[in-house]
Each structure stands twice: as structure tokens, then as C-alpha cells.
Amino acid sequence: MDKKRLYRTEGQFKMVCGVCGGIAEYFDIDPTLVRLGWAALSLFSALFGGLILYIIAAVVIPTKSSVYPGC
């Protein structure tokens, strides 16, 4: 059984680093909704919290090609 993995997307769902696209694929929802949610989180935390979390996620979450070589 193939285990579900969280990764940053590359290609059509990638806007900045692919974090929101990867989260959207993991939960099988529209990437735009994840981006809007992340923007709301950033605004309500005075941009600092959302921006720091995004940078940490971009560094920690691997890309899809590093998780599944040859994709």
C-alpha cells in the first residue's frame, strides 16, 4: 500500500515554493482555497506568523521529485 506523503509541488500548482499546492494535493482540495486560507492567516497574524511558517514549510517539506524520483 502506497503511503500518503506531504511534499511541495512543482509545475502547474506551484506559485512561490509549492507549499500551498502540496498541502492542497495532500488534502485533495483546491489550491486556491489553501492560498486564501494562508493569506488570511498571514493577515490576522500581522504577516509575521504566516510568513515565518511559510518559509519554514518551504525549507522542511521536500519536493515531489525528491520524494518520488523520476516523476
| SS3 readout for the chain | CCCCCCCECCCCCCCCCCHHHHHHHHHCCCHHHHHHHHHHHHHHCCCHHHHHHHHHHHHHCCEHHHHCCCC
Task: State pTM to two decimals.
Answer: 0.76
- The confidence score (pLDDT) of residue 10 equals 79
pLDDT along the chain (71 residues), means of 10: 78 77 91 91 81 90 74 56
- The confidence score (pLDDT) of residue 6 equals 86
- The confidence score (pLDDT) of residue 36 equals 93
CA distance 42 to 4: 27
- The confidence score (pLDDT) of residue 60 equals 93
